Amino acid sequence: MVGAMMSADQASLGYALGRLAGAIRFASPEMRKVASFATVADAWRAYRRDAGIGDVGPAHQPSTDALSILLTDDPRRDAVVLWLAAHGEPAIADAATVVVRMVNATRGFETDALALLNAAQDAVAQAAAGGPLTGACGVAYVGPDHPLHGLARAAAAVDLLIHAPDFAEGSGHEALLPLPSRSMRHYIASEPAGCWALNLVLVARGIVPQVTGIVPRTAFRLDVTDAQRAAAVVDHSTHEALAAFTNLERIESVLGRGREALAGLSRNARAFEAWTLLAALGPTTRKQLMRALSLSRAGADIQARALAAARLVGLETGGLVSPALPGSSPSPSASLDHGPLCAAAADLDIAMAEIDRLLTRSLDKRN
């Protein structure tokens, strides 16, 4: 009965991964580029899930935007994007490099974390079929063209890493919390181990394209059976693959909405490029747009105003630019693109475009 249930789950996972692979294969170059940005953003969310919340922010308080790769206060974000920029396949490395520039990332991983990443890279490179988890998942001998080949490589890497002290997950325990009149039992989760490192390597290598965090921490548990670990891996992977496909559909819809809204703004061509970043990465700031698009501060303001005028974003305090929900009517700051000052605004646009062109040429020469 258990074998039949696993077979059905494998079929669901294979279908989800196959459908995702087909969508990526037939996606436009523009869509793939935006999807790579989204993968980097999702890699950060998976990292925080696997590595824990950490001690971040003022007085070690959690960031209010912890899951936002652009707005989080967590200093580990810098390390994640710097590492992906240095070790990712070209599409991931390029997207991570832009994010590095947007957030001005400077601090990489410490020595202990780099050791985990090196071990995970070695495991992914050396992993061979035949381990207990690959066998329990039923993917020990799938070929490179099989939809589950990426899962097989991930499971084989787990088989190599699970007995390493820094990767094996604890089971957590119950403790008594003393109260004035009685004691209350509460569960204390185990400290996160090295699962985050393997998931980051899988993203960097593109083992399962567009899917992040495919390996759950349960896969590294020593206190559960191989069958239980396999069931957790297959169920979790199916969930992540379905989420990745849904995200691709969302991105396609969002890009279409932006393309339609900005169709008449030919002189604001960079506005759509800014919109692609918002579609993939979520809320950003004008300063981050300035860095990403190599614009002047005024040039970034022009793009933000163009998006606001098209009712694609809301302009908030602190220079925050947030995507607006479809059909909503944000109240953007007064735009100079219409009204008695529109001619002056057009002249300003031309001047700023020339400045932006010169800035871009200067940056290219430096690089």
- DSSP reduced 3-state for 221: strand
CA distances (Å), origin 180, targets 106, 117, 186: 48, 46, 16
Whole-angstrom Cα distance, residue 77 to residue 68? 10
Instruction: Per-residue pLDDT tens, the chain, 367 aa: give them.
Output: 445 445 668 888 989 998 999 999 999 999 999 999 999 999 999 999 999 876 555 544 555 577 799 999 899 999 999 999 999 999 999 999 999 999 999 999 999 999 999 999 999 998 676 789 999 998 888 888 888 999 999 999 999 999 898 998 876 546 666 767 776 665 555 678 899 999 999 999 999 999 999 999 999 999 999 999 999 999 999 999 999 999 999 999 999 999 999 987 665 568 999 999 999 999 999 999 999 999 999 999 999 999 999 999 999 888 899 998 776 544 443 343 444 444 444 454 555 555 555 555 554 455 4
Q: What is the reported pTM?
A: 0.82
CB-based contacts of 278, cutoff 8 Å, min separation 6: 284, 307, 312, 313, 321, 323
CA distances (Å), origin 343, targets 116, 265, 349: 58, 15, 10
Q: Which two tokens stand for residue 39?
A: 């993968």
